[in-house]
């Protein structure tokens, strides 16, 4: 037998060894690019001055985001799970004083829109009711081209610079070694990242609030997040923030309820939106803007370019300028909802960017990710993405090209084609970037005006009602209670002391650990390699206002029951008149009623058989807004003996919902845990019941004993 040759250190074997070493964890190594270049600053993109535009030459940023954008196919890396609808936007009044955008010029102008709502962290198959930010993206099909307002249901974000976006999403996604947990932030990697990024604390207050578990996509606000620019016909610029305000008000579910809905009906939000539109209960939002003259750019205690900050409405009121109505469901989910491509860089004349470093990174990222996800530079030719404005340019060919271009010319300038297509002057609708002065050195840095990480987090917490504050405390206890590493929990408590010491103490009590006497200053972990830690500590800025009513959901609209889902619990012997009277009153107010019984089919009533919509096996209280128990001795006795009916009511009571009975049905409540309060109506009074439903929830009920459900 021939002797086995020694392998030795040949170039091939060295290369194989290097490839094998790529499986190593990367511990105790320097950060580097994919070409092996060591990175000095992984925190800031390269800008023209601290507050300047991000530079295209930033090859480190482009490599990092390009790799991130192409990590998964074909679903979106973030915002994978979405629901969408068609509609219209109607302008209330001309905005020509501030912008030359065509669709904002003439009162009454109607513009078609397509809107996609989404969760951020989960995959396409995840639950609608995860605690998460919700995407709120609107595509306006204007006569000047498509304009995309791509935002969220929260007005701020976790990070200040796009350089950190891949890190944020990697941290919140399922942990890579076992791909758990799905669509949840309650795990070590997310909170490890957050505990080392104090700039996230304002957004954490929003994410731990009830805004992260909305009752319906139709009942949440939308925001552009960034500060943009309006530019008028005189080339005068204004800073602008965008707000979508729902006409149904802003409402949430209880956390216990959200978890149960995820098991009972993970498509809850998708189903709710679809059924509301099919029933003609069209969702509506008013568009509002906060407009700031250029001369006032630096008059606030925060930086307008900082995406972790909002402008309190007490400082700059929101001006309502129009209304959006969603009135048609998609015909095909994949062709429309899944293939729609949004981009914050899809602009029209009169709307422009600012140097917000998170927005600047998005302007690169969105095109790049569409190329990966939709597989072609011709994604604009997919029907849902096509503009209604005429399209003429010299772009040709490419994968899945659909437009058939005629003629010899595909370049500019040319004489063969008589110079067509022509460049358009500004007066002819040509887009002209705002003439902002730039005079700065190339730096990887962040403006000192971005260093206040806590004052608006404190403002948000102070602005909440007592129930909302308690929900934030419970959310933090839950999330951090899932964190296994004590050091991460301790760092988070240290950050919470900078927001509110009472908040930190109550969270610490739930975790069974003390509040750190001297909080760790985590920003030291997130500075350039050559950075001076003393120069990167958060600054303390006193807010000019202590509370903002607009930040609390307690101050939202509570005067309608439109599209609310009401469960009627019935059994054989039910009083048909009681059903008819209450049903007609509720439906007159726009609510929808479902009859639920121990079995499907029908039940016998005082007026004959009544068809049943759902049984207790297929129905669950968590997808309804309120419960009514009609009279009829036989029906009441059968329901009282039905464990599922008792559980149904107990659970709704625990989740602070309105409950009503007919006068002769109050005996049913004797076998439940329900205690009389202002949201428990026992005399069959329809008006009182409607008022209780319109208030959404009686959150004060949570102060009492916890009802087992």
Instruction: Please state, in angstroms and rounded to a whole number, the distance separating the CA atoms of residues 589 and 170.
Output: 46
Please tell me which residue in 79, 243, 380, 696 is annotated as part of the active site: 79
Is pLDDT of 22 > 70? no
Is pLDDT of 209 > 90? yes
Is pLDDT of 361 > 90? yes
Confidence of residue 28 (pLDDT cuts 50, 70, 90): low
CB 117 within 8 Å of CB 83 = yes
Confidence of residue 525 (pLDDT cuts 50, 70, 90): low
Percentage of residues of the chain with pLDDT beyond 90: 73
- The separation between CA 323 and the C-alpha centre of its own chain, rounded to angstroms, equals 20
Per-residue pLDDT tens over the stretch 447-471 = 999 999 999 999 999 999 999 999 9
Report the mean per-residue pLDDT for the chain.
91
- Grouping H, G, I as helix, E, B as strand and the rest as coil, residue 345 is coil
* Pairing of β 237-246 and β 319-328: unpaired
* Cα separation values, 496 from 204, 450, 480, 516, 652, Å: 10, 19, 12, 10, 33
* Pairing of β 82-91 and β 46-48: unpaired
Instruction: Please state, in angstroms and rounded to a whole number, the distance separating the CA atoms of residues 151 and 223.
Output: 5
Take residue 556 and report the two structure tokens written for it: 């939202």
Is pLDDT of 19 > 50? no
> Which sign does the torsion angle of CA 409, 415, 417, 420 carry?
positive
By C-alpha distance, which of 50, 434, 413 is closest to 237?
Answer: 434
Angle, in degrees to the nearest 10, between helices 486-499 and 466-481: 160
Is pLDDT of 98 > 60? yes
Per-residue pLDDT tens over the stretch 314-325 = 999 999 999 999
Instruction: Please state, in angstroms and rounded to a whole number, the distance separating the CA atoms of residues 107 and 148.
Output: 21
Is pLDDT of 58 > 70? yes
Q: CA-CA-CA-CA torsion for 347, 350, 356, 362, nearest 10 degrees?
A: 0
> Can you give the pLDDT at residue 302?
96
Examine residue 346 and say whether the peptide bond preceding it is cis (omega within 30 degrees of 0).
Answer: no
Sheet of 565-569, strand order: 614-615, 592-597, 565-569, 626-629, 658-661, 680-681
- Between 11-15, 30-34, 90-94, 548-552, the lowest mean confidence (pLDDT) is in 11-15
> Can you give the pLDDT at residue 41?
82
| Residues facing residue 186 across a β-bridge | none
Is pLDDT of 15 > 50? no
> Can you give the pLDDT at residue 36?
66
> Can you give the pLDDT at residue 16?
46
> Can you give the pLDDT at residue 428?
85
> Can you give the pLDDT at residue 521?
59
Confidence of residue 27 (pLDDT cuts 50, 70, 90): low
Q: Which residue has the higher pLDDT, 217 or 542?
A: 217
Instruction: Provide mean pLDDT across the span 611-640.
Output: 97
> Can you give the pLDDT at residue 76?
81
By C-alpha distance, which of 87, 91, 96, 95 is closest to 109?
Answer: 91
> Can you give the pLDDT at residue 149?
98
Work out the end-to-end distance of the chain between its first and last CA atoms, rounded to an integer number of angstroms.
75
Per-residue pLDDT tens over the stretch 234-272 = 999 999 999 999 999 999 999 999 999 999 999 999 999
CB 430 within 8 Å of CB 424 = yes
- Grouping H, G, I as helix, E, B as strand and the rest as coil, residue 456 is helix
Is pLDDT of 599 > 90? yes
- Grouping H, G, I as helix, E, B as strand and the rest as coil, residue 214 is strand
CB 233 within 8 Å of CB 274 = no
Confidence of residue 495 (pLDDT cuts 50, 70, 90): very high
Is pLDDT of 510 > 60? yes
Instruction: Please state, in angstroms and rounded to a whole number, the distance separating the CA atoms of residues 633 and 639.
Output: 10
Instruction: Please state, in angstroms and rounded to a whole number, the distance separating the CA atoms of residues 38 and 23.
Output: 19
> Can you give the pLDDT at residue 3?
41
> Can you give the pLDDT at residue 690?
98
> Can you give the pLDDT at residue 2?
43
The residues near 236 (Cβ < 8 Å, ≥ 6 apart) are: 294
Angle, in degrees to the nearest 10, between helices 188-195 and 486-499: 50
The residues near 410 (Cβ < 8 Å, ≥ 6 apart) are: 394, 396
- Between 188-197, 267-276, 515-524, 579-588, the lowest mean confidence (pLDDT) is in 515-524
Confidence of residue 7 (pLDDT cuts 50, 70, 90): very low
- Between 15-19, 49-53, 233-237, 650-654, the lowest mean confidence (pLDDT) is in 15-19
Per-residue pLDDT tens over the stretch 668-692 = 999 999 999 999 999 999 999 999 9
Active site residue 152: yes
> Can you give the pLDDT at residue 25?
52
CB 103 within 8 Å of CB 115 = no
Confidence of residue 156 (pLDDT cuts 50, 70, 90): very high
Confidence of residue 378 (pLDDT cuts 50, 70, 90): confident
Instruction: Provide mean pLDDT across the span 168-178.
Output: 94
The residues near 307 (Cβ < 8 Å, ≥ 6 apart) are: 156, 157, 159, 160, 225, 226, 356, 358, 359
Please tell me which residue in 152, 385, 462, 650 is annotated as part of the active site: 152
């Amino acid at each position: 037998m021939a002797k086995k040759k020694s392998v030795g250190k040949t170039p091939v074997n060295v290369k194989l060894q290097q490839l094998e070493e790529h499986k190593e964890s990367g511990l105790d190594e320097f950060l580097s690019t994919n070409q092996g270049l060591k990175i000095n600053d992984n925190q800031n993109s390269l800008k023209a001055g601290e507050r300047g535009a991000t530079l295209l030459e930033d090859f480190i940023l482009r490599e990092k985001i390009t790799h991130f954008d192409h990590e998964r196919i074909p679903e979106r890396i973030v915002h994978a799970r979405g629901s969408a609808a068609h509609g219209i936007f109607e302008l209330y009044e001309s905005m020509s004083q501030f912008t030359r955008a065509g669709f904002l010029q003439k009162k009454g102008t109607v513009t078609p829109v397509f809107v996609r709502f989404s969760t951020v962290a989960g995959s396409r198959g995840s639950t609608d009711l995860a605690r998460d930010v919700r995407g709120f993206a609107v595509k306006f099909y204007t006569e000047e081209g498509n304009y995309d307002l791509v935002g969220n249901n929260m007005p701020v974000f976790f990070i200040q610079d796009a350089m950190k976006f891949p890190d944020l999403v990697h941290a919140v996604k399922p942990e890579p070694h076992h791909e758990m947990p799905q669509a949840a932030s309650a795990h070590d990697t997310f909170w490890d990242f957050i505990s080392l990024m104090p700039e996230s604390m304002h957004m954490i207050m929003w994410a731990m609030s009830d805004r992260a578990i909305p009752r319906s996509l139709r009942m949440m606000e939308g925001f552009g997040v960034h500060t943009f620019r309006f530019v008028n016909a005189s080339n005068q610029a204004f800073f602008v923030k965008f707000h979508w305000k729902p006409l149904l008000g802003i409402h949430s579910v209880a956390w216990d309820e959200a978890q149960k809905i995820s098991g009972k009906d993970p498509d809850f939000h998708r189903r709710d939106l679809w059924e509301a539109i099919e029933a003609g209960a069209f969702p509506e939002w008013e568009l509002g803007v906060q407009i700031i003259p250029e001369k006032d750019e630096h008059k606030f205690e925060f930086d307008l370019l900082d995406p972790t900050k909002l402008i309190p409405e007490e400082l700059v009121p929101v001006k309502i300028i129009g209304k959006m109505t969603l009135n048609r469901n998609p015909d095909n989910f994949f062709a429309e909802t899944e293939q729609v491509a949004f981009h914050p860089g899809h602009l029209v004349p009169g709307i422009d960017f600012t140097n917000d470093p998170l927005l600047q990174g998005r302007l690169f990222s969105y095109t790049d990710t569409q190329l990966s996800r939709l597989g072609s530079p011709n994604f604009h030719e997919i029907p849902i993405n096509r503009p209604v404005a005429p399209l003429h340019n010299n772009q040709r060919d490419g994968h899945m090209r659909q437009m058939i271009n005629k003629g010899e010319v595909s370049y500019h300038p040319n004489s063969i084609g008589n110079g067509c297509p022509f460049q358009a002057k500004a007066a002819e609708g040509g887009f002209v970037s705002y003439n902002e002065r730039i005079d700065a050195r190339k730096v990887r840095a962040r403006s000192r005006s971005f260093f206040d990480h806590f004052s608006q987090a404190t403002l948000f917490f102070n602005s909440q009602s007592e129930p909302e504050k308690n929900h934030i405390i419970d959310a933090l206890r839950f999330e951090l209670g899932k964190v296994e590493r004590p050091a991460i929990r301790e760092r988070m408590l240290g950050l919470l002391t900078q927001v509110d010491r009472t908040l930190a103490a109550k969270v610490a009590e739930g975790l069974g650990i003390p509040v750190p006497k001297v909080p760790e200053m985590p920003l030291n972990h997130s500075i350039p390699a050559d950075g001076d830690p003393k120069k990167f500590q958060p600054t303390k800025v006193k807010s000019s206002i202590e509370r903002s009513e607009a930040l609390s959901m307690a101050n939202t609209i509570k005067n309608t029951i439109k599209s609310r889902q009401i469960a009627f619990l019935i059994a054989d012997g039910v009083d048909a008149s009681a059903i008819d009277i209450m049903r007609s009153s509720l439906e007159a107010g726009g609510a929808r009623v479902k009859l639920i019984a121990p079995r499907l089919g029908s039940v016998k009533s005082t007026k004959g058989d009544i068809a049943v919509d759902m049984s207790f096996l297929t129905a669950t209280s968590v997808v309804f807004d309120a419960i009514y128990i009609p009279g009829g001795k036989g029906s009441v006795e059968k329901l009282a003996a039905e464990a599922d009916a008792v559980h149904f009511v107990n659970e709704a009571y625990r989740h602070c919902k309105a409950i009503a009975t007919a006068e002769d049905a109050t005996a049913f409540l004797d076998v439940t845990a329900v205690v009389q309060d202002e949201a428990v109506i026992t005399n069959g009074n329809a008006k009182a019941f409607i008022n209780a439903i319109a208030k959404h929830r009686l959150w004060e009920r949570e102060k009492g004993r916890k009802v087992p459900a």
